[in-house]
A and B are shown apart, each in its own frame.
Chain A
Amino acid sequence: MSSNTNYINAKTGFASWALTIDHKRIGLMYLVSIMTFFLVAGVFALLLRTELLTPANTIMDAKRYNQLFTLHGAIMVFLVIIPGIPASLGNFMLPLMLGAKDVAFPRINLLSYYIYLFGAILALSSLWVGAIDTGWTFYTPYSTTTDGGVVLMVTAAFVLGFSGIFTGLNFIVTTHKLRAPGMTWFRMPLFIWGIYATAVIQIMATPVLAITLLLLIIERTVGIGIFDPVLGGDPVLFQHFFWFYSHPAVYIMILPGMAVVSEIVTVFSQKRIFGYKQIAFSSIAIAVLSFLVWGHHMFVSGQSELVGMIFSVLTFLVAIPSGIKIFNWLATMYKGSISLKTPMLWALGFIFLFTIGGITGIFLGTLSVDVHLHDTYFVVAHFHYVMVGGTFMAFMGGLFYWWPKITGKMYSEFWGAASTLMVVIGFNLTFFVQFIMGSQGMPRRYYSYLDQFQIYHQISTVGSYILGLGFVMAIWTLLRALKTGKPATKNPWHAATLEWTHTEVMPIEHNFHEQPTVNEGPYEYH
């Protein structure tokens, strides 16, 4: 058997990709799609920041601004971060890490990609009808009364939900049924635990979103009063429904990020992960608690004070498993042999930024403090620290970590490190000042603002340019490696998980030449 065949060169031609049921190719197709939408929505963000250089009309009017922040949010949430790590890296790595030939339902896997693509096309076609200006949260009754392609965009989110459900279902069954002989639950890499917990949330929470969005569509098209008080509905009901999904969705976004970091920290410290079971069970705890905290988005919405109190308590509880993970990562580094290669830099950046995101989350979970900070830039900053500083840093870390396995090439360490640094600096410039603005009362989603906020907005805008450049550099570093990168070895990081130890430089079509068997944990560094 030639060692030169791999999943890329095994078959060629358009159909070999379009009709592939290889989880690795599907993962790659997801990766390309997700990164494309990331760049599009990233450019929207830069346009928004440019508009905010002055409180007056800098480059666009208020209507256009409102449409752009809606699109930025909707694309980033529904097309980039939610599918993000699970659909791309998860799809590629989960069977490899479990020692399986593929996911449990390869055809459903392909179907979920096409549903994703269809949803994406629907979302973009809403631009044709008229860009929507509701914010990505679609709050009623604004969303049921404004112009634009609200129905199309909401339908897109509805369709995209099914893609997530199928992927989640696939991962759960694969994890249960296709583990290699000897791979017990506690010998699974922590990445699998994280992706598994994510999949559980995805299949349980997404149907609620689907129902909510369907009700919204019915109200807009047929005029049945569900949320709009003019028709006898209740607008706060929409918020309950929406956040019942969208808060768990926040954990759909962050759990895979934590899962990637768990892998990187142990491999680049060459030390067994500290508190394996604590990290694994904290993922499950987060998954369970994530369903019980939605009301913390609504402390000032008019819900009862008792309900607010209960949600505040539950919100604080969810902070604990997140803290457990961070402390265990630190303990893993203690007395390790720490290598500062690019993936580890992204992971350290994750810990740095996610900690700030987590601590500011305590501010927002504290009832009276949230009353002041709700709907200000403080929330915007917190959310971005968690979603970009957290999830997206981990996503980039995972890409740099697995890039040699995915492409068979090593990238430039120099440019990898430089891009990480750019992103961390740019990110903090962009978003740290937003905490200050927010605490001083600058409301979010404001096209114009009072003059005294201008200096903060300008710092933030400059930061966003650096941040954007950093991401472009990172992606460029990865792409350049395809052409000019040195050939990778089978296991350049000396990792101990199956995707590194039992595969070729690039995995073959069916992953392994023979079925691997497992007789020790995933982090035994000899």
Chain B
Amino acid sequence: MDSLKELLAMKLPVLSFWSSMPEAASSYASEFDSLYYFLLWTGLGLFLLIVVPMCWFVMKYHRRDEHQKALSQRDYNYKLEVAWTFLPFIYLAVCFFWGFIGFLDVYTVPVNAKNLRVIGQKWNWTIQYPDEEISVSGQGVVVGVPVDENIIFTMSSQDVLHSFFLPNFRIKQDVLPGRYTTLWLKADKVGEFPIFCAEYCGDNHSNMLAKLKVMPRVEYDAWVDGIKNADISLSPKELGAKLYQTKVCVTCHTTDGTTKIGPSFKGLYGSIAELTSGKKVKVDDSFIKEHILTPSKTPIKGYPQVMPPFQGQLSEVEINALIEFIKSFK
């Protein structure tokens, strides 16, 4: 996590000019910034238009002795009232149309694009690459994409609301359970950019981070190959250790015997677990597999029932790897 934060730090400005936006990584983001700065400067003008007269009047018409009367009791001016009722319309209409045009850009999905699937889950992102037949997952996961290509994210949530937020692209979209939402981008800069979860989703909401790694096409292809080969060459225990991180088992389960939210893996294999029904079961290969896939079927006494089901998310190879990993902590 620390190295992730260091990398991200380079991409967001540190106490630079007070109004500066994070580095723009797409042509849309640059267009967005024109509008943002338009609002900023006209807003500053509007602010001065109100505060300067206010301070001026306070100084000029300050009551100097107790019996000083107002210089005028005039309480109406037709032209002024019309002016400050209708002139703002023009300004606001400009803001509206400019913002609306940008909004259409965000939500008009291009036809020719690479499709990625995004799954939000407490508290990590899974990105599936249908064309490349790979997927990446976990807290702080690296999401590789090729530069200068349209990318569409088709997104859904496994549990509660999340929101997929890429500040460097000025885009964000809520990720919902039971419905698909889409977001697209075309990066024109190579580099690594943060992805935040922007919709509050519980304890580890602020750790539900990822980073978008924008690469030239050749590098991207190599990155995909690297992911494909990585899993095959690992020993079961190594793969288990990797899944322990990426599937965020680490959030609740320790390996050193201390109890976090769930039981520690140390000495777990072969022990006797008591279910909430009072039934006692031996923690063997079958039990671990069943509990990982559908934890609600075998709730264990004394622990909160918060483990998400991994049914359909893990291959047989990966389950075996996790069992071997757990088994290794005697």
Number of inter-chain CB pairs below 8 Å: 276
The smallest beta-carbon distance between A190 and chain B, in angstroms, is 12
A366 adjacent to B198 (CB under 8 Å) = no
User: A326 near B: Cβ within 8 Å?
Assistant: yes
Interface residues of B in 55-72 (CB under 8 A from A): 57-58, 61-63, 68-72
A369 adjacent to B88 (CB under 8 Å) = no
Tell me which of B126-134, B168-176, B314-322 binds A. Answer: B168-176
B99 adjacent to A366 (CB under 8 Å) = yes
The smallest beta-carbon distance between B313 and chain A, in angstroms, is 17
Q: In the bound complex, how far is the Cα of B81 from the Cα of A273, in angstroms?
A: 13
A352 adjacent to B54 (CB under 8 Å) = yes
A235 adjacent to B104 (CB under 8 Å) = no
B174 adjacent to A300 (CB under 8 Å) = yes
Q: In the bound complex, how far is the Cα of B84 from the Cα of A319, in angstroms?
A: 12
Contact with B along A439-455 (1 / 0, CB 8 A): 11101111111111101
Q: In the bound complex, how far is the Cα of B206 from the Cα of A63, in angstroms?
A: 12
Task: List residues of chain A with CB within 8 A of the CB of B73.
Answer: 271-272, 525
Q: Which residue of A lies closest to B40 (CB)?
A: A363
Q: In the bound complex, how far is the Cα of B81 from the Cα of A331, in angstroms?
A: 10
Interface residues of B in 76-90 (CB under 8 A from A): 76-77, 80-81, 84-85, 88-89
The 8 Å CB contact of A333, one of B61, B103, B179, B202, is B61
The 8 Å CB contact of B95, one of A331, A366, A449, is A366
Q: In the bound complex, how far is the Cα of B179 from the Cα of A229, in angstroms?
A: 9
User: B144 near A: Cβ within 8 Å?
Assistant: no
Interface size bracket, B side: 35 or more
B174 adjacent to A302 (CB under 8 Å) = yes
A445 adjacent to B200 (CB under 8 Å) = yes
The smallest beta-carbon distance between B226 and chain A, in angstroms, is 26
Task: List residues of chain A with CB within 8 A of the CB of B5.
Answer: 450-451
Q: In the bound complex, how far is the Cα of B160 from the Cα of A372, in angstroms?
A: 21
A375-B85 contact in complex given A313-B96, A450-B9, C-beta closer than 8 Å: no
List the interface of chain A (C-beta within 8 A of B): 62-63, 66, 133, 135, 139, 141-142, 145-147, 229-230, 234-236, 269-276, 278, 299-302, 305, 308-309, 312-313, 316-317, 319-320, 323-324, 326-327, 330-340, 348, 351-352, 355-356, 359-360, 362-363, 365-372, 374-376, 436, 439-441, 443-453, 455-456, 523, 525
- Nearest 9 A/B pairs, CB to CB: A229-B178, A441-B167, A368-B102, A366-B99, A367-B103, A446-B206, A271-B70, A272-B75, A335-B71
Q: Can you list 21 A-B pairs with a CB-CB distance of less than 8 A?
A: A66-B200, A230-B177, A235-B176, A275-B75, A302-B181, A316-B93, A335-B72, A337-B61, A338-B58, A338-B63, A351-B51, A359-B43, A359-B47, A362-B43, A366-B95, A368-B105, A371-B170, A375-B165, A445-B206, A448-B206, A452-B9
